[in-house]
Structure 1
Amino acid sequence: MKSSESPVALVPGGEVAPGERIDFGRPMVVAFGRRIDVRVVVIAGIVTLLALVCGFLGLLLGKFALTPTEVFQGLFGVADKRIVNTVVGEWRAPRILAGIVLGAGLGVSGAVFQSLTRNPLGSPDIIGFSTGAYTGGIVTIILFGTSFVSTAFGAILGGILTALLVYVLTWKGGVQGFRLIIVGIALTAMLNAFNTWLIMRSDLDLAMAAATWGAGTLNGMGWSTILPATVAVIVLGLGCGVFARDLGTLELGDDTAKALGVRNEPVRAALILIAVALVAVVTAAAGPIAFVALAAPQIGRRIAKSQGTSLLMAAAVGGLLLVAADLIAQHGMALTNQLLVWLGVIGVDTADDIQFPVGVVTVCIGGVYLIWLLIHEARKAP
Structure 2
Amino acid sequence: MSRAVSGRPPGHALLRIGRGSFLVHRRALVVVVALAVLLAAVVVASLCVGESLVSPVEVCRVLLGRPSPDRLVVGTLRLPRLVVGLLAGAAFGVAGALIQTVARNPLASPDVIGVTHGAGAATVAAMSFGVVSHNALPYLSVGGGLAATLLVYVFAWRRGLHASRFVLVGIGISVALGSLTQLFLTKGDYLVAQQAKVWLTGSLNGRGYDQAAPLALVLLLALPAALWAGRTQRSVSFDDDTATALGVRLDQVRLGLAALGVVLASVATGAAGPIDFVALVAPQIARRLTRTIQIPLLSSALTGALVVVVADLLARRLFAPIELPVGVLTAVVGAPYLMWLIVRTRSRSGGTTS
Normalization by structure 2: what TM-score?
0.92
Query: Which residue identity does 2:3 align to in structure 1?
Result: V
Separation in 2, partners of 1:237, 1:297: 18
Corresponding residue for residue 120 of structure 1: 106
In the alignment, does 2:181 pair up with 1:186? Answer: no
Corresponding residue for residue 157 of structure 1: 143
The counterpart of 2:262, out of the listed 260, 276, 297, is 276
Separation in 1, partners of 2:196, 2:10: 51
- Report the alpha carbon displacement of residue 165 of structure 1 after superposing the two structures with TM: 1.1
- Report the alpha carbon displacement of residue 376 of structure 1 after superposing the two structures with TM: 3.0
Separation in 2, partners of 1:33, 1:139: 49
User: Which structure 2 residues correspond to residues 194-205 of structure 1 after superposition, within 5 A?
Assistant: 194-205=180-191
Deviations along 1:243-300, whole A, 9 cap, x unmatched? Answer: 2222221110222222222211112111111111101110110100100100111111
User: Which structure 2 residues correspond to residues 172-183 of structure 1 after superposition, within 5 A?
Assistant: 172-183=158-169
User: Which structure 2 residues correspond to residues 36-75 of structure 1 after superposition, within 5 A?
Assistant: 36-75=24-63
The counterpart of 2:213, out of the listed 227, 246, 268, is 227
- Report the alpha carbon displacement of residue 33 of structure 1 after superposing the two structures with TM: 7.1
User: Which structure 2 residues correspond to residues 249-288 of structure 1 after superposition, within 5 A?
Assistant: 249-288=235-274
Separation in 2, partners of 1:300, 1:164: 28
Greater relative contact order: 1 or 2 (C-alpha under 8 angstroms, separation 6 or more)?
A: 2
Corresponding residue for residue 337 of structure 1: none
Give the 3 Å change call, closer, same or farther, for CA 61–199 of structure 1 in structure 2. same
Separation in 1, partners of 2:219, 2:191: 30
In the alignment, does 2:23 pair up with 1:35? Answer: yes
The counterpart of 2:344, out of the listed 376, 379, 382, is 376
Q: Any conservation in 2 of the 1:240–1:275 contact (CA below 8 Å)?
A: no
Separation in 1, partners of 2:127, 2:290: 41
The 10-residue stretch of structure 1 (284-293 or 65-74) with the greater mean CA deviation from structure 2: 65-74
Separation in 2, partners of 1:290, 1:238: 27
In the alignment, does 2:25 pair up with 1:25? Answer: no
Q: Any conservation in 1 of the 2:89–2:278 contact (CA below 8 Å)?
A: yes
Corresponding residue for residue 330 of structure 2: 362
Deviations along 1:71-127, whole A, 9 cap, x unmatched? Answer: 22333554353xx21211111111222222211111111011111111100111111
Query: Which residue identity does 1:7 align to in structure 2?
Result: S
Corresponding residue for residue 345 of structure 1: none
Q: Which runs of 5+ in 1 are unaligned?
A: 1-5, 10-19, 334-351
Query: Which residue identity does 1:219 align to in structure 2?
Result: N
Normalization by structure 1: what TM-score?
0.86
Separation in 2, partners of 1:33, 1:246: 19
Q: Any conservation in 2 of the 1:325–1:361 contact (CA below 8 Å)?
A: yes
Corresponding residue for residue 239 of structure 1: 225
In the alignment, does 2:321 pair up with 1:326? Answer: no
Separation in 1, partners of 2:245, 2:15: 24
Helix, strand or coil: the match of 2:9?
Answer: coil
- Report the alpha carbon displacement of residue 370 of structure 1 after superposing the two structures with TM: 1.5
Query: Which residue identity does 2:348 align to in structure 1?
Result: K
Q: Any conservation in 2 of the 1:105–1:279 contact (CA below 8 Å)?
A: yes
- Report the alpha carbon displacement of residue 353 of structure 1 after superposing the two structures with TM: 2.4
Q: Any conservation in 2 of the 1:70–1:79 contact (CA below 8 Å)?
A: no
* Aligned-CA RMSD value: 1.9
Aligned residues: 347
Separation in 2, partners of 1:204, 1:75: 40
Helix, strand or coil: the match of 1:124?
Answer: coil
Separation in 2, partners of 1:8, 1:74: 49
Helix, strand or coil: the match of 2:318?
Answer: helix
Separation in 2, partners of 1:29, 1:77: 37
- Report the alpha carbon displacement of residue 212 of structure 1 after superposing the two structures with TM: 1.2
Corresponding residue for residue 93 of structure 2: 107
- Report the alpha carbon displacement of residue 23 of structure 1 after superposing the two structures with TM: 4.9
Give the 3 Å change call, closer, same or farther, for CA 68–371 of structure 1 in structure 2. same
Query: Which residue identity does 1:185 align to in structure 2?
Result: I
Structure showing greater radius of gyration is 1
Give the 3 Å change call, closer, same or farther, for CA 249–192 of structure 1 in structure 2. same
Corresponding residue for residue 140 of structure 1: 126
Q: Any conservation in 2 of the 1:51–1:100 contact (CA below 8 Å)?
A: no
Query: Which residue identity does 1:194 align to in structure 2?
Result: L
